[in-house]
């Protein structure tokens, strides 16, 4: 029999022809547990989405405003008129600001720990960065409101006085002296994103094939040229995916944003010095008043929008690395 025939229809390598495949009980149990866990997670996500949809539909039916494009919010059960546009804008604006700040800082930390720092220093420093993820959100919120905001007051006033002609730095709906603005919230959120983006990026950069690094060094490349020509191209997809996962984390942050941002009745004006509410902080702020199903349904509808938004962001992050076998 030819080798081609054996490869096409013969037994797997290492298995004799006609031998019976024996599956051990431990393998069957482990397979059942892993498959069951995967199904359970998918089922839970589907059930959460269905629950939100069922609870939101009655309020959406009674809603007298356009849910997607109205900027007002009235969750009075007797006169429901609520729209998620303003909440969505504040949510995305503050989260994108946090991502813009956190991405380059996380990239620098990850490259330092994997390419420049001595091993005896890299490990404990990495632990310190990872510890940022263990700090409760309420601590970040209190630090942002009572420490960071007063410290940023001179900076925000200077930006407003000198660059106020740019809508981004125009006077907003929140007092610059108090600092309960999207600018402060974005900086606090960026600190909260650092351990997530840094940890994943560090793992990706660590998996750069040593043969590529050694080959670049053998050709006379400097350390920065090695990073630019081998490490960054290899880890680019993983780094972007980590950033998208961090964005999903920022979109859903509640307690820290709730403490920092001042609630306002004015519409969002695309200024960093605006106050307002994100979707999550709006729900958290009104949670004690959920005594009517129709009124609560308005907030659940907003939660459904946030659920869809984070799902899309995480799906986008997964799609980025889908074509890269080194990350699978």
Contact at 8 Å (CB) between 95 and 247? yes
The confidence band for 5, taking pLDDT boundaries of 50, 70 and 90, is very low
Contact at 8 Å (CB) between 178 and 274? no
Structure tokens at 216: 């670049």
pLDDT at position 214 is 84
Domain topology for 84-327: MetI-like fold (1.10.3720)
pLDDT at position 3 is 47
Q: What does DSSP say about strands 73-74 and 81-82: parallel, antiparallel, or unpaired?
A: antiparallel
CB-based contacts of 83, cutoff 8 Å, min separation 6? 65, 66, 67, 68, 69, 70, 71, 72, 73
Asked if the model's pLDDT at residue 2 lies above 50, the reply is: no
Residue-wise pLDDT tens digits, 155-208:
888 988 888 888 888 888 777 767 788 999 999 999 999 999 999 999 999 888
How far is residue 23's CA from residue 18's CA, in Å, rounded to a whole number? Answer: 16
pLDDT at position 13 is 55
pLDDT at position 12 is 55
- 319-to-181, 246, 305, 328 alpha-carbon distances in Å: 33, 15, 21, 12
Residue-wise pLDDT tens digits, 44-63:
999 999 999 999 999 999 99
What integer is the mean pLDDT of 134-148?
92
Residues in the chain: 328
The rounded Cα 197 to chain-centroid distance in angstroms is 9
Contact at 8 Å (CB) between 273 and 183? yes
**Closest listed residue to residue 169, CA positions, set 155, 150, 185, 151:** 155
DSSP 218-247: HTT--HHHHIIIIIHHHHHHHHHHHHHHHH
How far is residue 72's CA from residue 159's CA, in Å, rounded to a whole number? Answer: 29
How far is residue 166's CA from residue 269's CA, in Å, rounded to a whole number? Answer: 12
């Amino acid at each position: 029999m030819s080798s081609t025939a054996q490869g096409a229809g013969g037994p797997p390598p290492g298995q004799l022809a006609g031998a019976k495949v024996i599956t051990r009980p431990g393998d069957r149990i482990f397979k059942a547990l892993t498959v069951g866990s995967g199904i359970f997670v998918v089922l839970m996500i589907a059930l959460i989405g269905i629950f939100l949809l069922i609870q939101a539909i009655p309020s959406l039916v009674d809603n007298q405003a356009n849910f997607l494009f109205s900027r007002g919010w009235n969750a009075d059960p007797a006169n429901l008129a609520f729209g998620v546009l303003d909440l969505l804008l504040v949510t995305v604006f503050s989260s994108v600001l946090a991502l813009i700040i956190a991405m380059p800082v996380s990239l620098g930390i990850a490259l330092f720990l994997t390419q420049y720092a001595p091993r005896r220093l890299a490990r404990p420093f990495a632990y310190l960065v990872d510890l940022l993820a263990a700090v409760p959100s309420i601590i970040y919120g209190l630090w942002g409101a009572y420490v960071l905001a007063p410290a940023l007051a001179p900076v925000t006033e200077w930006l407003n006085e000198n660059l106020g002609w740019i809508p981004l730095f125009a006077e907003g709906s929140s007092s610059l002296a108090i600092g309960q603005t999207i600018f402060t919230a974005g900086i606090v959120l960026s600190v909260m994103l650092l351990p997530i983006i840094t940890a994943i990026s560090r793992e990706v950069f660590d998996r750069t094939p040593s043969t590529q690094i050694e080959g670049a060094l053998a050709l006379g490349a400097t350390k920065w040229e090695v990073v630019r020509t081998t490490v960054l191209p290899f880890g680019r997809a993983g780094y972007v995916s980590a950033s998208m996962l961090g964005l999903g984390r920022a979109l859903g942050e509640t307690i820290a944003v709730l403490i920092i941002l001042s609630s306002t009745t004015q519409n969002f004006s695309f200024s960093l010095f605006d106050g307002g509410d994100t979707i999550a902080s709006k729900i958290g702020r009104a949670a004690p008043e959920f005594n009517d199903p129709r009124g609560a349904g308005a907030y659940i509808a907003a939660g459904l929008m946030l659920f869809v938004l984070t799902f899309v962001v995480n799906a986008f992050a997964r799609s980025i690395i889908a074509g890269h076998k080194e990350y699978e």
